[in-house]
Amino acid sequence: MLGFKLSAQRPPEPERVADGVVSRFEHVFEVEPALMTEHVRQQDIPNWDFQRIVDSRWEHLAWMHEHFADSVISGEELLAELEAEQPNP
């Protein structure tokens, strides 16, 4: 059996990042727990489940790009090209 300890899966304490929003992992946001006390309760999610949700999301987005076209053109690259094309002042 694979080792799995719930205590090792506890996410870090949340930090407030915006009005009504907290974050425990970089770029992963959650609704502030105080807003989820009356009608909907917040659930405890182990670290692996956070990771699974985030990874699945990226996988889904990559799938969607690929479903519609063979490649995705980067705006950042084009902006850099546009800048390079500008005549020097």
Partner 1 sequence: MAVALLDSVVDELTAICGPDHVFTGRSATFNRARVPAPFPVHKWDEHVPSAVVLPTSAHQVSEVVKMANRHRIPVVPRAGATGLTDGAVPLRHGIVVDVKLMNQILDLDHENRTVTVGPGINMLKLNEELRKHGYIYPDNPASYPCSLVGGRIGTSGWSLIGARYGHTRDLVISFEIVLPTGEIVRVGDGGGRTVRKSSSGYQLKHLFMGHQGTLGIVTEATLELVPRPEAEFSAFFAYGDYMDAWRATGDLARSGVATLAGVVLFDEWKLAYLRRDDEAYIPQPESIKGVIACASYGNADEVRIGAKRLLRIGNASGGVYLGDEISQGDWASRHDRYATPQHGRTRDGQVALMSWHCEDASIPYSELPAVREEWHAIAAKLRERFDMFDDWGMFAYTNGAFKPWGDYLTEIDIGIWETRWDEETWAAWVDAKRELARVSIEHGGSISACHGSCREGEVDLVPAELGGGFEVMKTIKRGLDPNNIMNPGKYLLDQAYEEA
CB 11 to partner 1: min, Å:
16
The H or E element spanning position 68 is: helix 47-68
53 binds partner 1 (CB under 8 A): no
Which positions from 5 through 44 interact with partner 1, judged by CB under 8 A?
17-21, 27-31, 35-40
What's the DSSP call for residue 11? Answer: P
CB 1 to partner 1: min, Å:
34
Kindly list the distances between the CA atom of residue 28 and the CA atoms of 53, 58, 79, in Å, as whole numbers in the listed order: 10, 12, 28
Q: Are 25 and 50 in contact (CB under 8 A)?
A: yes
In this structure, which amino acid lies at residue 60?
Answer: H
Query: Which spans of this chain sit near partner 1 (rule: CB under 8 A)?
Result: 17-21, 27-31, 35-40, 60-62, 64-65, 67-76, 78-79, 81-82
